[in-house]
Structure 1
Amino acid sequence: MADTGAVKSEDTPFEGGPMDGRVLPVLVGITGNPPKTYRIPVPDAAGGPPTVLVYRRVPRGHSRRLGLPRGWKYEFDPEGETGRRPRWPWSKPDTGASRKPGDTEE
C-alpha cells in the first residue's frame, strides 16, 4: 500500500511559562511521539532578535502494569538550553568556558 502522506498531530498540553494551560496540536514523528523539545520564537516588540521559549517533553502519566508513558506534555524550561548535544559514552564533557575559538581538540 502507498503512504497517503497524511501529517499526524497530537493535542499536547503545555505547563509553566507564558504557554501555561494551553493545548496545541503538535506534529508527531514516525514513532508516534512529539519532539523532545519544542521551541517557540516570540518576536521582539522593538524589532530586535526574537526570544525563544523552550519546552521539554515529559510523560503525562504511566500505566500501572508496564509503567509505559500514557501520553506527553511539555514543561517550560526557563534555562532554555537550545544547543544540547547527544550524550554519547565516549564524548568528552563540554567545558565551553575553557575553550577558545580556534582551539582544536586533541
Structure 2
Amino acid sequence: MRHEECEFVGGPLDGRVIEVIVGMTGQPPRSYTVPAGEHRYVYHREHGERGKHRTPWVFTFDPDGKPPAGPKWPWSKRG
C-alpha cells in the first residue's frame, strides 16, 4: 500500500506530519478519525498551500466531529 505524508493542523495532533494510506487515485481519505480512549478526534482533508504547509494535503481538526459534506445527487435523500 502506498503512503503519503500529511500535516495535521489543530487539535491534539497539531503540527505533526503522519504517513496516511492513500487510495487508488493517490489522495488520502476525506476524513481521518483518531480514537483516543473514550474520545474520537475527527480531521478533514484540505489542500495545503505552498509555502505555508510542508505537505500537499493538510488535515484540519473538526471539534464537532461531523462527517464531510458529500455530493448531493438528485436521486438520493440525505438525513
TM class by shorter chain equals: 0.7 to 0.9
Determine which structure has greater relative contact order: mean sequence separation of CA pairs < 8 Å that are 6+ residues apart, divided by chain length: 2
How many Å separate the matches in 2 of 1:52 and 1:75?
14
Q: Which amino acid aligns with 2:58?
A: K
Q: 1:41 to 1:88 in 2, by over 3 A?
A: same
Q: Confirm or deny that 1:42 pairs with 2:25.
A: no
Tell me the percent identity.
Answer: 43
State how far apart, in whole Å, the 2-side matches of 1:24 and 1:9 are: 9
* Structure 1 residue 85, shift from structure 2 partner: 6.5
Alignment partners' CA distance in 1, 2:30 and 2:23: 11
Q: CA RMSD in A?
A: 2.3
Q: Which amino acid aligns with 2:56?
A: G
Matched, 1:78 2:63: yes
Larger radius of gyration, structure 1 or 2? 1
Q: Give the 3 Å change call, closer, same or farther, for CA 84–58 of structure 1 in structure 2.
A: closer
- The answer to whether residue 35 in structure 2 is matched with residue 31 in structure 1 is no
1:81 maps to a residue whose letter is: K
Q: TM-score, normalised by structure 2?
A: 0.80
Q: Decide whether aligned partners of structure 1 residues 52 and 86 sit closer, same or farther in structure 2, where only a CA change above 3 A counts.
A: farther
